[in-house]
Amino acid sequence: MTRALYPGTFDPVTLGHLDLIERALRVFDSLVVAVSENPSKRPLFSHVERLALLREVTRDLPNLEVVGFSGLLVNLIRDQQADLLIKGLRAVSDFEYELQMALTNRKLDPRVETAFLMPSEKYTYLSSTIVKEVSSLGGDVSPLVPAVVERALREKFSKHD
């Protein structure tokens, strides 16, 4: 049984994230999606909200668990008894950063391996940052995120008006 771990901020979860989750589930026996409480980022959605949204949009997927975490990723991998990390690569610009992270994780724990997956071509441009910007300006994000996330974004930005 191969258990993979897909970490991220997921602020908010997009159809690109879901595409990667579904791809990983086709390759690995089980998947842990880990929502980071990264103190260096200022997320739009709270950690609890991001966990709830991810759990909602993945509730029908088999062999998947959504967990929250803070701290070092190598500790989470060990705690979750995961065999490897999954990271998404949309463009060459993602690769440089993710390669540095993969090598750092391996330096911290030589057992940590990272597998890079590419999303469907239709999601290579998509990021949570773009989704938040479009939504904040009143744009239609329905082709970019699950319906529950679209509603949450509308609600979040209607409070800022």
Q: Say what the pLDDT of residue 157 is.
A: 92
Residue 136 lies in a domain: no
- Residue 87: active-site member: no
- Residue 159: active-site member: no
Residue 132 lies in a domain: no
Q: Which of 41, 59, 159, 160 is catalytic?
A: 41
Q: Say what the pLDDT of residue 86 is.
A: 96
Q: Say what the pLDDT of residue 92 is.
A: 77
Domain span at 113: 3-124
Q: Which residue has the tokens 């989470």?
A: 76
Work out the average pLDDT over 140-145. 96
**3-state SS assignment for residue 87:** strand
Q: Which of 30, 128, 132, 135 is catalytic?
A: 128
Residue 70 CB neighbours (<10 A): 12
Q: What angle do CA 92, 68, 89 make, to 5 degrees?
A: 10
Q: What is the pTM of this model?
A: 0.93
To 10 degrees, the CA torsion angle through 49, 52, 56, 61?
130
**At 115, which CATH number?**
3.40.50.620
Our separate counts of H helices and E strands in the chain read: 6, 5
Give me the number of domains the chain comprises: 1
Q: Say what the pLDDT of residue 161 is.
A: 54
Q: Which of 3, 23, 55, 90 is catalytic?
A: 90
Q: Assess whether pLDDT exceeds 60 at residue 142.
A: yes
Residue 144 lies in a domain: no
Work out the average pLDDT over 56-85. 96
- Residue 90: active-site member: yes
Q: Say what the pLDDT of residue 160 is.
A: 59
| pLDDT tens digit sequence for 73-124 | 999 999 999 999 999 998 777 888 899 999 999 999 999 999 999 989 999 8
Q: Which of 17, 50, 87, 132 is catalytic?
A: 17
| pLDDT tens digit sequence for 29-49 | 999 999 999 777 789 999 999
Residue 151 lies in a domain: no
